Amino acid sequence: MGLMISGGTVLTMSPRGLIREGGVVVEDDRIVDIGKTTGLKRKYPSYERIGAEGKVVIPGLINTHTHAAMSLLRGYADDYPLREWLERWIWPLERHLTGHDIYVGALLTSVESIMAGITTVNTMYHYIANENEARAFSEAGLRGVVGHVCFSWRKEEDRKALRSLAGDWHGKAEGRIRVSVDPHAPYTVDPEYMRELREITRDLNESHGSPEAPITWHTHIAETEDEPEKIKQAFNVTLKGGVVEYLDSLGVLGKDILAAHCVSLTERDIKILRERGIKVSHNPVSNLKLASGISPVPKMLREGVNVSLGTDGASSNNVSDMFEVMKLTALLHKGASKDPTLLPAEEVLKMTTINGAKALLWDKEIGSLEIGKKADLVILDFNKPHLRPVYNETSHLVYSARAADVDTVLINGRILMEKRELTTVDAEKILEEVERTKDNLLSRLASEG
């Protein structure tokens, strides 16, 4: 038996475009039909219906860069200078995080994401066997790529964690969970370790991956201007060009890499990003908040680089809200380039749907509403003052819609939220556990000295 969403305006984000009075038919975890509601009703008369009259149906949003567990630190420290923020606030607290804390933080991000219409989350954090982000995503019903972040100072620990992560989680939870290898950044992962992580990724793909569902890379690249200097200080390597050019010289670049930030790039760097097929995740909220700079997104798009969007972790954002990220992306580059035609709504909506899917090498299954793809979709209620009148749905989605306008969410064909009621998790209980976990964390920090 199946399910039919009917009577809504369907933005497929495929060549098929927008369908008014449209519907989407779901069987098990997949979309089996799309079209005008009238025709679908005749073809599937007995299917359970979700009425979407006055509503807009879009593919689930894809957040291509975050650290899901860090929502446990939301609002803990803001407005500090970068070094003080990290050294006095974030790192001392993070040192006390247990596997349970990571699990609870990721569960909080899962609930927040689902309620905001985000159906796929690409997260980089520390993997700890029993309690971790993958388990949280799996339980909440979210789709995601879960990575383990690697540093030169803990290679042996990383190797074990990566093996365990890939074996435990890649392709699990009805295929909703994939895993990635996450070199933290070019200034924290030495050249030799970078190359070794490339080999580890190949090995893990041989044992656990497949061409349809590969184990990918997720890393930070060129987040700040001083990254070449940091690389030099860390590994005594003097860069001849930009950071991307440096990584290319190591022979580690490939089309399976999701590079977060890419704020400080040379012209040559941008060309290499395109040539090597690197996928960029743009995180404007985080980049502004941490004063990292403004990524040359319009230039990358002109060069044909695949740019998707990310929130970054709650310590530098502070929310998992892709509607906010979409609007800021549309605004910021107009303002920074003094050109009001840059990053139009249609393009920005692509960045957080189909281009997000491409970024994770998952676009055969998600990122648009097409027959045969997984049923990850979001229904927004447009019957709100700030979404009226309606001249153009795409404009409203980018410039006016808010996370709270998300009414109903399906992931993998399963209804996770209907009329803003969560169906898979008890949000009240999770929020209580979040406060308790935070209190325990602060106690451990206080008793440290």
Q: Please say which residue, 235 or 399, places its beta carbon nearer to its own copies.
A: 399
Closest CA to 250 of 320, 175, 197: 197
In whole angstroms, what is the distance from residue 231 CA to residue 236 CA? 7
**Nearest to 323, CA basis, from 392, 398, 251:** 398
Task: Please say whether the dihedral angle defined by the alpha carbons of residues 102, 308, 331 and 274, taken in this order, is positive or negative.
Answer: positive
Q: Which residues contact 346 (CB under 8 A, 6 or more apart)?
A: 394
Q: How far is the CB of 401 from its own copies (least distance, A)?
A: 9
Angle value at C-alpha 316, between 313 and 318, nearest 5 degrees: 75
Residue 281, beta-bridge partner list:
260, 308
Phi, then psi, of 169 in degrees rounded to 5: -125, -20
Whichever of 54 and 304 has its CB closer to its own copies, that residue is 54
Residue nearer to its own copies on the CB measure, 292 or 368: 292
Residue 360 C-beta: closest distance to its own copies, Å = 23
Shortest distance, position 395 Cβ to its own copies, whole Å: 4
Q: Which is nearer to its own copies, 237 or 336 (CB)?
A: 336
Q: Which is nearer to its own copies, 129 or 431 (CB)?
A: 431
Instruction: Give least dist CB 284 to its own copies, A.
Output: 8
Kindly list the residues in this chain that would bind its own copies in the complex (CB under 8 A): 72, 74-76, 78-82, 85, 108, 111-112, 115-116, 285, 287-294, 317-321, 324, 327-328, 330-332, 334-335, 337-341, 343-345, 383, 385-386, 388-392, 395-396, 399-400, 402-405, 427, 430-431, 434-435, 437-438
Residue 77: count other Cβ atoms within 10 Å of its Cβ: 14
CA distance 173 to 141: 8
Nearer to its own copies, 32 or 387 (CB): 387
Cis peptide bond prior to 389, omega within 30° of 0: yes
Q: Is there a contact between 52 and 34 (Cβ–Cβ < 8 Å)?
A: no
Minimum distance, C-beta of residue 294 to its own copies, in the bound complex (Å) = 6
DSSP secondary structure code for residue 32 in this structure: E
In 3D space, the residue among 418, 388, 381, 419 whose CA is nearest the CA of residue 402 turns out to be 381
Closest approach, Cβ 24 to its own copies, in A, equals: 24
Could you tell me where the DSSP H helices lie in 146-235?
A: 155-169, 191-208, 227-235
45 or 389: whose CB is closer to its own copies? 389
Q: How far is the CB of 198 from its own copies (least distance, A)?
A: 33
Nearer of residues 199 and 435 to its own copies, judged by Cβ = 435
Buried b (16+ CB within 10 A) or exposed e, 262-294: bbbbbeebbebbeebebbbbbbbbbbebbebbb
Minimum distance of its own copies from residue 226's CB (angstroms) = 11
Closest distance between its own copies and the C-beta of residue 333, in Å? Answer: 9
Give the residue with the Cβ less far from its own copies, 34 or 411. 411
Residue 123 carries which side chain, given as an amino acid letter?
T
